[in-house]
A and B are shown apart, each in its own frame.
Chain A
Amino acid sequence: MGKIIKDDVSIVISGEAGQGIQTIEKFLTRILKEEGFNVFATKEYMSRIRGGDNSTELRISSKKVRSYVDKIDILIPLTLSSIKHLKNRIDNKTIILIDKDSINYEGDNVVHIPIESDAKEIGNKIFSNTIAVGIILGLFGLQKNSIKEYMEKLFSKKSEEIINKNINAAEKGYEYGKNFYDENKIKIDIKKDEKVKNHILINGAEAVALGCIYGGCDSIFSYPMTPGTGVLLSLAEYSNDFDILVEQAEDEIAAINMAIGGWYAGARSMITTSGGGFALMTEGISLAGMIDSPVVAHIAQRPGPATGLPTRTAQEDLNLVLYAGHGEFERVIYAPGSLEEAFYLAKKSFETADKYQIPVFILTDQYFVDSYYNTEEFILEKDKITKNIVKTDIDYKRYKINDKPISPRGVPSFGEGIVVVDSDEHDEAGHITENLDLRVKLNERRLNKIKELRKNALLPELIGVNSYETLVISWGSNKNVVKEAVENIEHHKISQLHFNQLYPLPEKAKDYLKKAHKIICVENNATGQFAELIKKELDIKIENKILKYDGVVFSSEGLIEKIKELI
């Protein structure tokens, strides 16, 4: 047997929760990126703390790599049941590196490596994951001396004994891998790119969190809920360096009300959650609508209804976010498709919320927040952010009616005036009223924000040729997988149209859609929620939809097949 994997490799490590699969993912992405390889990693896991079948996919490519594939070139299973869990993705080309002494599994491409017994020899079964890291690095043909350096760096906070044992484990694994490499038995041949060394390596949750800091976020109030928690953790990690107030609320209802209270007193506040938690917040969103309060909400979607599949991915909550809150008021929904978009849109969310005094949503999903890849560093404009807060005078009225669509926002103790807001319909001063003429005026002002919002809505991005006949629509996290699929379809008249603002939609988006003979909308849900929204907003009916709702993201091969069936 001899196998050389060229230009693109998918490596999957699988096992139980608690076996250190995440550590393998973290170490390999970091080391390979530092070596100059384009890397991508995504995980799928069960909703439990220990046990179960989890896996992480690492894709390394000679080109930029930013999406998931079903195929597995190399599988390192740490349990038998995790092989069964992945059976639909294992084919006759998959090489399985396995410790046959501990895992009783036979097959054509099974290669025995005594991972577990070597780990025990070093001192503990737990070193298996470091051995696995070493094997992979050997298969890439890395220099031997670099292994020790990386281990010292990655374990720098641990004791000398732990560092040495891990060096020992990694080198042991490396020897196996390097022998396969040298003998051309199994060899990974991927081109490096020097530019990658200067890239940053982060995941979606971190990109959102960093963008929020860039947007001036100074407080986050949340109740933990997978997969929205990543943003909370990331902001907590930075909270002492940037003086960010991070408060874990008693429930989601408290969280959204705290965030709105924060904005009332002038702090830029946000929440992060998932669909179920957000459902509890909807009355708060309506409150923001009524009192013209900015608020930023990050929602990482997962499959529902109810508790659904807590750790899996979906794009099922667009309608929830679009219609959340009783009564009529405006909002903006952004859905980043890349780490870069997440960073800049998170910042923009704070600007938009503050400027228009509305709730703004950052809609992501489990796949997006948990996926890593190397990307160009973010460029920061260093100008002070604009805070749309006015110093109040003695006659200040929060909802003064004039010809402007937005009434200037004062905050308590900044100026001579007082700031009154009310969830009841209110008069210009913010006090409760049942003056119905005034009600009509204030309601119209709240709703008239749509004009400016639509005018300033982000245009969708056309990826591919202008002379398309078929247009494949993506929104949010599907951007990169649709891009890879469309690029790999040998058809010169197909392009992609990616939306990272879902509501409101700009009128101009219609021009792209009208030009197409065939439109295909790709969504991680069962009902085509965005296709429906396009119909409502732009009056264009989309006949072709590729929908997936099994809790797993689209794979590029799977999508290529589905698109081909439709063109």
Chain B
Amino acid sequence: MTGKINIFQCENEKELDIAWCPGCGNFPIQNIIKKALSEIEGLNPQNCVLVSGIGQAAKMPHYIKINAFNGLHGRSLPVATAIKSVNPHLTVISESGEGDMYGEGGNHFIHTIRRNPDITNIVHDNMIYGLTKGQASPTTQIGMKTPVQVNGVILKPFNPIAVALSMGATFIARGFSGDIEFTVELIKQAIKHKGYALVDIFQPCVTFNKINTFKWFKENSYKLDENYDPSNKMKAYEIAHDESKYALGIIYQSNERTSFESQLNIFKKEKTPLYERYHDLDKLEKFINAKK
């Protein structure tokens, strides 16, 4: 790749007024996504769509050259699902922070997994709310004091890996913004996977999370070794529930389900995206006349 400009890089990258704090984990994730996309043959900014919600992570589409839908807080999964369903030729990624995906959009998270569209769901997980300035997020650990949770968080952290497993997700992975090559590979595998794929990415928030720092994530996570079998669901459950140390890598993968859009009747006869189609008005006339 050296010397070659990544086609997903914004032409004006040097002039971009990026809204992230210096040292933010979002910067390496930006590189990870660009790199992953560019390393998959056939993908280009025209045939990929990056859908996001609201938050610092959700600003990603503005710093990558790609079709983008930066929508509402928590709502990127329904948008991404619909885009994929009306034009399955597109590669669709839904990306936001853990507050957006697991909090505000929690219901969509559950039901998108049930629906199983062939999209990749990237979740920046820094265990804190950044843009709203340091309140607890769904994954903030018990006991952390914040300006709102002044006596410390008492809610049990959301476990996205376990929830995704229970709902029947067929690709579940966890990456770390501090390990670029490793996480690039996870995202590439997730995009290639047929069906919904979750990649939760640990990242430090350098401004508001002084507990779960880069060093903390390093010390509290480990990479699944080469002998790990991601098709073993029971083992995956065990790992998902082991909160003493967090596993990184593909925790679960199977081909037991077919994707949502591939089962839709609208694509049985032809594969053209819906925007190229027109209804048969003679047929409509016939149906109306049948009401006589």
Chain A: residues with CB nearer than 8 A to chain B?
197-202, 206, 210, 213-214, 216, 218-219, 221, 238-245, 247, 249-251, 253-255, 257-262, 264-269, 283-284, 287, 377-378, 380, 382, 384-385, 387, 389, 411-424, 430-432
Contact = CB atoms under 8 A, between A and B. Distances in A.
B283 interface: yes
Nearest to A239: B265
Contacts of A382: 281-282
A431 B62 contact: yes
B111 A254 contact: yes
28 contacts: A197-B292, A199-B292, A210-B284, A214-B284, A218-B277, A243-B277, A249-B78, A249-B111, A250-B108, A254-B108, A257-B71, A257-B78, A261-B51, A261-B69, A261-B78, A261-B82, A262-B85, A265-B275, A377-B288, A412-B46, A412-B87, A413-B87, A415-B46, A418-B68, A420-B68, A422-B70, A431-B62, A432-B70
Contact of A245 (B86, B108, B280, B287): B86
A202 B46 contact: no
Nearest to B53: A423
A276 to B, nearest CB: 17
A513 to B, nearest CB: 36
Interface string B58-87: 010110011111111001011111110111
Given A259-B82, A261-B83, A431-B62, A423 B277 contact: no
Contacts of A239: 265-266
B72 A287 contact: yes
B149 interface: no
A350 to B, nearest CB: 11
Contact of B72 (A197, A257, A258): A257
Contacts of A267: 82, 86-87, 273-275
B168 interface: no
A257 B85 contact: no
A241 to B, nearest CB: 7
Contacts of B277: 218, 243
Given A265-B273, A265-B275, A432-B62, A421 B68 contact: yes
A484 B47 CA distance: 57
A146 to B, nearest CB: 17
Contacts of A218: 86, 266, 274, 277, 279
B281 to A, nearest CB: 5
Nearest to A413: B47
8 tightest A-B contacts by CB? Answer: A266-B275, A261-B82, A261-B79, A267-B86, A250-B111, A258-B82, A200-B291, A267-B274
B289 A412 contact: no
B278 A219 contact: no
A258 B79 contact: yes
Nearest to A199: B292
Contacts of B47: 412-413
A201 to B, nearest CB: 6
Contacts of B284: 210, 213-214, 242, 380
B220 interface: no
Given A239-B266, A267-B86, A418-B45, 9 more contacts: A200-B291, A202-B291, A219-B82, A249-B111, A261-B83, A265-B86, A284-B72, A419-B68, A423-B72
Contacts of B287: 210, 238, 241
Contacts of B59: 432
Given A218-B86, A257-B78, A258-B78, A418 B65 contact: yes
B223 interface: no
Nearest to B77: A254
B206 interface: no
A159 B275 CA distance: 43
B218 interface: no
A419 B75 CA distance: 19
Contacts of A213: 279, 284
A257 B79 CA distance: 5
A240 B265 contact: yes
B46 A254 contact: no
B86 A219 contact: yes
Interface in B181-233: none
Interface string B250-292: 0000000000000011100100011111111111110111011
A107 B107 CA distance: 57
A206 B284 CA distance: 13
B109 to A, nearest CB: 10
B107 A380 contact: no
Contacts of B82: 219, 221, 247, 257-262, 264-265, 267, 269
B144 interface: no
A245 B264 CA distance: 8
B87 A266 contact: yes
